Every structure is written in structure tokens, then in C-alpha cells.
């Protein structure tokens, strides 16, 4: 896997004294992004560290009107946690049920290449539909969810599966709709996006190229300390009393105003001057609200109780920060990458162990949402898929071993936990279908079947539909590829939030 570039590396614009920086205002061109404001010299890097929300307010992305130094009003649609399985694991058949054109319950004659021997064909075993979306009863993902969530929590879950081909074992799949979800309305009070990896998507797979917005690039959260550092003022200042911290911030505000005064005011719109003048005041309010204890997963009893369902303690420590901050509204969308899903090792037990871990992660996130009385949407994908070598593994109850990569047996799935009760669906929970002859995705079934970018757009369309906003799809993703094919073919959910 190629290393990701560090997008946080920016030129040191503070190297010049403030009075020598001349803002460049091109005719008929208003600054739109954080990079625009940096390039035009309006703020140096030190201001980014203390008041990142200034940029969103200037660019018209704030959640409320900027009026003097009045705090903006925050609003967000349902938060989302994305789970990125690196390596090309199994989703379809042995875990989430897939079928023919009739949907999940239109069972294929055989699922042997999807890891199920004849005695485990769903026509024999049936399926588990406790969460609406049907799972195979022998699914270790399902077992993990059961191990880490209550029956009451699961009764409030609905879901859908997208049957879609994906390239094998590569980070080049443009799977991750993190930026589009933020644009659609999944907003955070402290940071917009987060991920467990330092990459443009925050995960292993890419975000669609046309979706990327550098002004809201994900912050990396891999530990409790990463969460705390979102508001960390440094060792010395953090030891001060709250009153002393506010006095220091007040002094910073005064210094900021003097620096602004040294810049040619004639080239700055009044709104920008107002926002810059009160940026440090807003930061003071944020620090008072978002204390280190408020951000630390270890200090949240709900987190420690719900995350106990993840038996791998290292994995638990990586999942907890994003799960907590997303559900607390501090970030809008978080990506969690889980490694080791290239488990075609010639047996089945290795893959089942990883699938169990995924299920524990999904179940623990839903259980945390239940404990906090919040709603959450979880979206799971992998870079490719896997095929069985059709050899039974006695260490996996006779299920068939995984033998090699198979992206044409890939799928993604979406689960919705609604605290007030199950989300409403339109009927079929399966988008696209598998072919009976080869037990592979039918690539010509829908526009999503052979395009991970269109699958990402369909996921966003369903996110919007959950909020009654599917008509906004083109505004969010830049086009509506489904308009001629019929958007209804791709929508599973009714307005539920």
C-alpha cells in the first residue's frame, strides 16, 4: 500500500511580519476556502490552530449567521460512522444475505463460492432478520453484533445492502462518501470529519475525487489522547484555572485585533474583519464547552460500558474516540479502518475471527447510541471481495474456506439505528443483485453494480432520503446519475428523521 501524503503540511505564512503581508483580492473572485484565505494572507497558521471555525464562517459554511461575535447556531443531520475493511473481506452471502432480482430472500441455488456449503444454504437454515436487513444465521458478523448489543437496541435497527463490484485489495477504490455526507448535513461542532488514518478520506479507501473538500479534511483520531488534543492548549496552559485561561484568551483576542488593524482594511470586506476580530472569543467559548474531560472516552461511562463488547482491547481503544465524538455531535462523520480483511488464507477460521471483530464494533457503536439516546448510521465497505475454495474447515463448523480475492463478489451495507424505533423502508432492502449461475454481482443490473463512485452516491441518496431530502442529491454530489434510470430503484429508506 502506498503511503498517504500528509495534507496538513502547509507553508509557513507567519514567517513574514504582519505588516508586510498584502492581501491579494482578485477582481470578481471572493475567497471560498481555507486555502484561499491562506493564499491571500488573511491569516497565518497560528490562527488555524486556535480558531479553525473562522474559515467556515467566512466562507459561508457556518451553521448560523455571523452577527458581531454572536456564537453560531449549530444544527446537524444524523451522524455517520464509516467502517473501511482493508484487504477485501466477505460481506455478501456468508454474512449479509444476498439474492437474485427479487432481493435478499430470492435465494440463489448455491452459495458455495460465497463460503456456504449446501447444508448452510439459506433455503435450509433460514435467515436472521432481527435488524430488518437479513443476515445468515451462521454469520460471525451477526454473532459479534449479538455479543455487543442488547435485543432492545437491535430491534431499532434497519439496513440495506448494495451489490456492487469493487477492485481487489487496493486503496484506489473511491468508496468513501465522507465529504458528501458532510455537505448533505452531517456536521460537527468541533471538527467536521475524522478518521483513524492520516489520509484525505480518513481511511484506507479513497473518497470520490470530485467530493474532496480540503477545508474540512478529516482530523486523525486513533486514541483517547488524540481526542483530548483537539482542545489541548499545551501542558503549561492546561494546568491553569478556567478563569486564567479565559484571561489569556482575552489577551489573544486583543492581540488579534491589533494584528488585523495592521493589514490594509480597504481590501477586506466588513464581514471578514468582524469574524476575524471575534475569532478568539469564539475559541474561548469552545474551550469552556469542550473540556478535555468532555472529549476523553475514558471519562465517559457510557463509552466504557458499550465498548466492552469489543474483546480486542487495542481495537476498542481505536474505535472509542470516533464513536464517542461522532455520537456526541463533536464530529459529523468518522471513518474507522479495520485491517486484516485480506483473509484468504486457505481456511475459514481466520476470516470468521475478523468478521466477529467487525460485528463487535458495529454492535458496540449501536449500543453506545442506545445508551446516549442518539441516532447513528453505519456504512461498511471493503476494497474488493473474496471467494471460497469450497474446502470445508472443521475449525469453522464446516463452513467453506476462503481461497482468493474476488471483487465481483463484493458488496457494501448500511445500517440505521433510530432511537425512537426502526427507520421506515420502501420495500426491498437489496440494491442490485447476484447471478445464480456464478454467484457473482450482476454488473449490468444497476448503475451502482459496477461503479463504487455510483454506489457512494446511492448511499448518500439514501442518507438524504432518511431526512426527506433525496431531491437535494444533485446539489450534494454534483449530479444525479440515477435520474434517467429512476432514483426510486436505488432508494431503500423513507423519511425517518
CA dihedral over 440, 443, 446, 452, signed as positive or negative: positive
Q: Would residue 194 count as lying in a domain?
A: yes
pLDDT at position 273, please? 54
Q: Would residue 35 count as lying in a domain?
A: no
List the one residue out of 241, 190, 220, 159 whose CA is nearest residue 415.
159
Q: Would residue 281 count as lying in a domain?
A: no
Phi/psi at 159 (nearest 5 deg)? Answer: -165, 175
Alpha-carbon dihedral 493, 459, 329, 235, rounded to 10 degrees: 160
pLDDT at position 231, please? 78
Distance of CA 149 to the CA centre of its chain: 21
Q: Would residue 287 count as lying in a domain?
A: no
CA distance 383 to 27: 45
Q: Would residue 285 count as lying in a domain?
A: no
Q: How many domains does the chain have?
A: 1
H or E stretch covering 350: helix 349-372
Structural domain including 449 reads 80-226+292-490
pLDDT at position 3, please? 44
CA distance 306 to 374: 14
Q: What letters, b where the CB count within 10 A reaches 16 and e where it falls short, cover 227-253?
A: bbebbebeeeeeeeeeeebeeebeebb
Q: Would residue 456 count as lying in a domain?
A: yes
pLDDT at position 250, please? 59
pLDDT at position 254, please? 56
CA distance 392 to 407: 22
Residues of the chain with confidence (pLDDT) below 50: 1-68, 235, 237, 263-266, 268, 275, 280-281
Q: Would residue 101 count as lying in a domain?
A: yes
Angle at 353 between CA 349 and CA 355, to 5 degrees: 115
Is there a contact between 214 and 183 (Cβ–Cβ < 8 Å)?
no
Q: Would residue 7 count as lying in a domain?
A: no
Q: Which residues face 96 on adjacent strands?
A: 92, 135
H or E stretch covering 327: helix 313-327
**Helix count and strand count (H, E) for the chain:** 18, 10
pLDDT at position 15, please? 39
Amino acid at each position: 500500500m502506498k503511503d498517504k501524503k500528509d495534507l496538513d503540511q502547509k507553508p509557513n505564512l507567519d514567517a513574514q511580519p504582519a505588516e508586510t503581508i498584502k492581501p491579494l483580492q482578485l477582481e470578481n473572485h471572493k475567497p471560498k476556502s481555507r486555502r484561499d484565505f491562506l493564499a491571500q494572507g488573511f491569516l497565518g497558521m497560528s490562527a488555524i490552530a486556535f480558531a479553525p471555525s473562522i474559515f467556515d464562517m467566512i466562507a459561508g459554511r457556518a451553521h448560523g449567521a455571523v452577527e458581531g461575535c454572536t456564537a453560531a447556531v449549530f444544527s446537524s443531520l444524523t451522524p455517520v460512522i464509516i467502517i473501511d475493511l482493508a484487504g477485501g473481506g466477505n460481506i455478501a452471502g456468508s454474512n449479509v444475505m444476498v439474492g437474485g432480482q427479487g432481493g435478499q430472500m430470492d435465494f440463489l441455488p448455491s452459495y458455495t463460492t460465497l463460503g456456504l456449503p449446501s447444508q448452510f444454504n439459506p433455503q435450509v437454515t433460514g435467515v436472521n432478520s432481527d435488524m430488518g436487513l437479513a443476515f445468515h444465521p451462521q454469520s460471525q458478523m451477526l454473532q459479534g453484533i449479538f455479543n455487543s448489543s442488547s435485543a432492545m437496541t437491535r430491534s431499532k435497527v434497519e439496513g440495506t445492502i448494495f451489490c456492487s463490484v469493487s477492485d481487489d485489495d487496493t486503496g484506489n477504490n473511491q468508496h468513501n462518501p465522507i465529504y458528501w455526507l458532510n455537505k448533505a448535513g452531517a456536521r460537527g461542532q468541533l471538527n467536521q470529519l475524522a478518521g483513524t488514518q492520516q489520509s484525505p478520506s480518513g481511511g484506507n479507501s479513497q473518497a470520490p475525487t470530485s467530493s474532496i473538500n480540503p477545508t474540512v479534511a478529516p482530523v486523525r483520531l486513533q486514541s483517547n489522547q488524540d481526542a483530548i488534543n483537539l482542545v489541548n492548549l499545551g501542558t503549561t496552559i492546561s494546568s491553569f484555572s478556567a478563569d486564567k485561561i479565559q484571561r489569556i484568551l482575552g489577551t489573544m483576542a486583543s492581540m488579534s485585533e491589533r494584528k488585523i488593524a495592521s493589514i490594509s482594511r480597504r481590501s477586506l470586506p466588513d464581514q471578514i474583519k468582524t469574524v476575524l476580530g471575534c475569532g478568539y472569543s469564539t475559541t474561548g467559548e469552545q474551550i469552556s464547552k469542550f473540556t478535555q474531560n468532555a472529549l476523553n472516552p475514558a471519562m465517559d461511562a457510557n463509552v466504557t460500558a458499550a465498548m466492552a463488547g469489543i474483546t480486542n482491547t487495542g481495537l476498542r481503544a481505536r474505535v472509542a474516540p470516533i464513536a464517542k465524538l461522532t455520537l456526541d455531535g463533536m464530529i459529523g462523520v468518522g471513518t474507522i479502518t479495520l485491517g486484516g480483511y485480506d483473509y484468504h488464507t486457505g481456511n475459514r477460521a481466520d476470516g470468521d475471527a475478523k468478521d466477529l471483530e467487525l460485528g463487535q464494533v458495529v454492535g458496540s457503536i449501536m449500543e453506545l447510541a442506545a445508551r446516549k439516546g442518539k441516532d447513528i448510521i453505519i456504512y461498511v465497505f471493503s476494497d474488493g471481495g473474496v471467494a471460497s475454495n469450497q474446502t470445508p474447515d472443521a475449525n469453522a463448523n464446516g463452513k467453506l474456506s476462503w481461497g482468493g480475492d474476488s471483487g465481483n463478489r463484493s458488496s457494501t451495507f448500511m445500517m440505521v439505528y433510530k432511537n425512537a424505533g426502526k427507520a421506515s423502508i420502501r420495500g426491498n432492502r437489496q440494491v442490485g443483485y447476484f447471478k445464480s449461475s456464478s454467484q457473482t454481482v450482476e454488473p449490468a443490473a444497476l448503475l451502482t453494480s459496477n461503479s463504487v463512485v455510483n454506489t457512494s452516491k446511492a448511499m448518500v441518496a439514501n442518507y438524504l432520503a432518511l431526512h426527506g431530502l433525496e431531491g437535494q442529491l444533485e446539489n450534494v454530489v454534483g449530479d444525479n446519475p440515477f435520474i434517467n434510470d429512476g432514483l426510486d430503484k436505488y432508494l431503500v429508506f423513507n423519511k425517518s428523521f
